[in-house]
Structure 1
Amino acid sequence: MLSNILFYSLDKAIKQYRRFAQANIDRAGIAITIDQWLVLRVILETDDLTQTEIGDRVFKDQASVARIIRLLTQRGLLVAEALPHDGRRTQLRVTEEGQRILDAVHPIVLSNRAVALQGLSAADTALLQQLLEQIYLNCTPPS
């Protein structure tokens, strides 16, 4: 049975969490998707990444990241500024409106996480994080 397969249960939980989280953002009237929010957060935290590096951090392919960046730029949530030392490259920056959206979503994200983790102790979540990291490492090719 599929329900007895760990990775099936893991995928089911992740997909349900994303649906739950997106529904709460939508209910709050904030026009942003989880993936767009992730890209904005990554750029806010580290604004000198390439699109490939952004994709690696949000688990999206380069084409998807390019579409998200284009949309966020069109909506005025991101701006691409030419680098003074290399006119061929640009640096993405979160605009004031992008920051406003991030600030509006932040309490929803915290609430979503709290609801999703109800009934789990701090030790449970620490162990879960450790186990998931081990699975990730087990599946990462040696460099």
Structure 2
Amino acid sequence: MLSNILFYSLDKAIKQYRRFAQANIDRAGIAITIDQWLVLRVILENDDLTQTEIGDRVFKDQASVARIIRLLTERSLLVAEALPHDGRRTQLRVTAEGQRILDAVHPIVLSNRQIALRGLSEEDTAQLQQLLERIYLNCTPQP
């Protein structure tokens, strides 16, 4: 039975959380998807990453990241600035409007997390984090 498979339950929980989180962002009238928000956050925190590195951080393929970046740029949430020392490359920066969107979504994200983790103690969440990290490392190719 699928419900007895740990990874099925994990995927089910993640998908339900994403639906729940997106619905709350939509309900607040903020026009951004979870994936777009993630890309904006990654770029805000690390504005020197390549598209491939951004994709690695948000678990998306390069084509999806390119599409998200294009949409965010068209909406003036991101801007690509030419690097002075290498005219062939650009550096992505979150605009003031992008920062406004991030600021508006932040309390919703905190509330979503609080609701999703309701009934779990700090020890529960710490243990879950450790277990998930162990699974991740078990599945990561070793050099």
Over the matched positions of the two proteins, sequence identity in percent amounts to: 91
> How far 1:28 sits from its partner (Å)?
0.1
Secondary structure (helix, strand or coil) at the match of 2:92 reads: strand
CA displacement, residues 49-88 of structure 1 (integer Å, 9 cap, x when unaligned):
0000000000000000000000000000000000000000
Equivalent pairs counted in the alignment come to 143
> How far 1:19 sits from its partner (Å)?
0.1
Paired position in structure 2 for 1:38: 38
- The 2-side partners of 1:132 and 1:72 are apart by 31
> How far 1:102 sits from its partner (Å)?
0.0
- The 2-side partners of 1:2 and 1:90 are apart by 46
Paired position in structure 2 for 1:117: 117
Secondary structure (helix, strand or coil) at the match of 2:41 reads: helix
- Structure 1: stretches of 5+ with no match in the other structure: none
- Give 1:99-138 correspondences, 5 Å limit: 99-138=99-138
Paired position in structure 1 for 2:73: 73
CA RMSD of aligned residues (A): 0.3
- The 2-side partners of 1:78 and 1:17 are apart by 26
TM-score with structure 1 length normalisation? 1.00
TM-score with structure 2 length normalisation? 1.00
Secondary structure (helix, strand or coil) at the match of 1:29 reads: coil
CA displacement, residues 86-121 of structure 1 (integer Å, 9 cap, x when unaligned):
000000000000000000000000000000000000
> How far 1:128 sits from its partner (Å)?
0.1
Runs of 4+ in 1 over 4 A off after TM superposition: none
